[in-house]
A and B are shown apart, each in its own frame.
Chain A
Amino acid sequence: MPSTPRNRLGDLERAVMEELWSTADAHPEGRTVREVHDSIGVERGLAYTTLMTVLDRMAKKDLVTRERDGRAWRYTPASTRAELTSESLHHTLGELAGDTRRSALLHFLDESTPEEIDELKAALAELEARRPDQRRA
């Protein structure tokens, strides 16, 4: 992927979330822009204001929540990584109405019910019987 400004911003948001997630247990009260900058900004040669802007944007996108602490904001992840992952997988299935859902993301397989898996296994067994050359030893 060429390093477009958009991708760099995506990478930076990712790094910030990683930092907030990995320190969430040690710092349940959240982290300030200064602390985040010290952890991930300095080594990347980023300006303090860059991280301030990124965190502000992420708060507006509801990825992080923030609380006033004196003159600074303290940022915490809005949800854990597991929650957000579940949510995003769930979104791929439920957020869109039927017609649009089928076209927005192309799934390898739509959801299927466990009861009907046997039918699939039978179809596979027939296929394997027809193609003995491709059977695994």
Chain B
Amino acid sequence: MLVVAGLVALAVLLAWPVPRALARVTSLRRAPRAALVLWQSTAVAAVLAALLAAPAALPALLGREVRLSQSWPTVTVAALLSAVVAVRLLLSGDRVGRNLRAARRRHRDLVDLLGTPGEGADRHMRVLEHTTPTAYCVPGVRRRVVLTQGTLDRLGPDELTAVLAHERAHLAARHDLVMEFFTVVHEAMPPWLRSEAALREVHLLIEVLADRAAVRRAGAVNTGRAIVAMAGGPKPVGAMAMADSTRVASARIQLLDADRIAGLPVGVVAATMYAASAVLVAVPLALYGLAIAELSLV
């Protein structure tokens, strides 16, 4: 029963305090790939712990080592946790997946109708006749990179290279799937348990990762100039400014040459995060293994 209680405690820890604490450790952004792996393993470990809690209670019950009269509170909590998490994840996965794909399909149809298509290697590109500098990609099998004329007018050739490298990095590395995974887990949680800060941090890490690709193609300064130029353009009427957007943008500029930031060497930070990720996923599996071992001993 200790194992079951451990799994429940682990699920609660990984769902509530851990993401909130992790979102505050901004130095992890220096190694964005390792940080994303750490975030993913945190979410996977939380889900595993919750889903395995009920099955882990079975061996003890079957083995009759523990009286049900004593252990029913733990068993009830474990069963409820596993069942609720399983159902909520399935529902959220279905809803988020369908919404995302429908929104992308509608939007892609619109930009295909309105945009001037690129040629050759740029055949996935669409240029919209609009003065607001905007660049984004529509992920998926029929992917698109969308730019406005305002972007083309505003950016120099090297800055444009940086923007395109950034968007292509999103598409090539399927960052949309990473975001989709976190959105599904996020929405599967009840609203009072969700951490907006955690989701924002994951989003920022994805942007930092795509910025790295832009820096490799166009250099840090050109990428920084592109970010400033895109931020400074005219805005469409009624567009919602996100409160944290500029803080995010200036954090991105500061991270363009993250190698200069003082502290532990990036390699050490990254290696530590990879190791921590492996441990995180291993813990719920090990606990479940213990519960199974108990059964075979009886």
Tell me which residues across on chain B come within 8 A of A122, comparing CB atoms: 250
Among residues 47 to 103 in chain B, which have CB atoms less than 8 Å away from a CB atom of chain A?
A: 96, 99-100, 103
In the bound complex, do residue B183 and residue A102 qualify as a contact, i.e. CB atoms below 8 Å apart? yes
Tell me which residues across on chain B come within 8 A of A112, comparing CB atoms: 231, 241-242, 245-246, 249
Q: Tell me what chain B mostly uses at the interface: helix, strand, loop, or mixed.
A: helix
In the bound complex, do residue A123 and residue B241 qualify as a contact, i.e. CB atoms below 8 Å apart? no
Kindly report which residue of chain B lies nearest to residue A97, judged by CB atoms: B99
Interface string of A21-65 (1 = CB under 8 A from B): 000000000000000000000000000000000000000000100
Tell me which residues across on chain B come within 8 A of A127, comparing CB atoms: 220-221, 224, 253-254, 256-257
Give the A interface residue count (CB, 8 A).
50
In the bound complex, do residue A117 and residue B103 qualify as a contact, i.e. CB atoms below 8 Å apart? no
B133 to A: closest C-beta gap in Å: 9
Tell me which residues across on chain B come within 8 A of A92, comparing CB atoms: 107, 134, 136
Q: A100-B100, A123-B224 are in contact. Are A85 and B128 (CB under 8 A)?
A: yes
A120 to B: closest C-beta gap in Å: 5
Among residues 162 to 211 in chain B, which have CB atoms less than 8 Å away from a CB atom of chain A?
A: 163, 166-167, 170, 175-176, 179-180, 183, 186-187, 199, 203, 206, 210
Q: Tell me what chain A mostly uses at the interface: helix, strand, loop, or mixed.
A: helix
Cα-based distance from A121 to B230 in the complex (angstroms): 12
Cβ-based interface call for B154 (8 A): no
Kindly report which residue of chain B lies nearest to residue A102, judged by CB atoms: B203
Cβ-based interface call for A135 (8 A): yes
Cβ-based interface call for A90 (8 A): yes
User: How many residue-residue contacts, CB under 8 A, span A and B?
Assistant: 180
Q: A85-B129, A89-B236, A120-B253 are in contact. Are A104 and B100 (CB under 8 A)?
A: yes
Tell me which residues across on chain A come within 8 A of B250, comparing CB atoms: 119-120, 122-123
In the bound complex, do residue A130 and residue B225 qualify as a contact, i.e. CB atoms below 8 Å apart? no
Kindly report which residue of chain B lies nearest to residue A128, judged by CB atoms: B221
In the bound complex, do residue B179 and residue A85 qualify as a contact, i.e. CB atoms below 8 Å apart? no
B239 to A: closest C-beta gap in Å: 5
Name the contact of B110 in the complex, choosing from A91, A96, A104, A116 (C-beta under 8 A): A91
In the bound complex, do residue B231 and residue A81 qualify as a contact, i.e. CB atoms below 8 Å apart? no
Name the contact of B221 in the complex, choosing from A13, A17, A103, A134 (C-beta under 8 A): A134
Tell me which residues across on chain A come within 8 A of B257, comparing CB atoms: 127, 130-131
Tell me which residues across on chain B come within 8 A of A82, comparing CB atoms: 129-130
Cβ-based interface call for A109 (8 A): yes
A7 to B: closest C-beta gap in Å: 8
Q: A88-B107, A106-B136, A131-B221 are in contact. Are A111 and B239 (CB under 8 A)?
A: yes
Cβ-based interface call for A72 (8 A): no
Tell me which residues across on chain A come within 8 A of B100, comparing CB atoms: 100, 103-104
In the bound complex, do residue B166 and residue A108 qualify as a contact, i.e. CB atoms below 8 Å apart? yes
Apart from A127-B254, A134-B222, 4 more pairs, CB < 8 Å: A94-B238, A99-B183, A102-B199, A108-B227
**6 shortest interchain CB distances as A-B pairs:** A116-B246, A103-B179, A134-B221, A108-B135, A123-B253, A110-B245
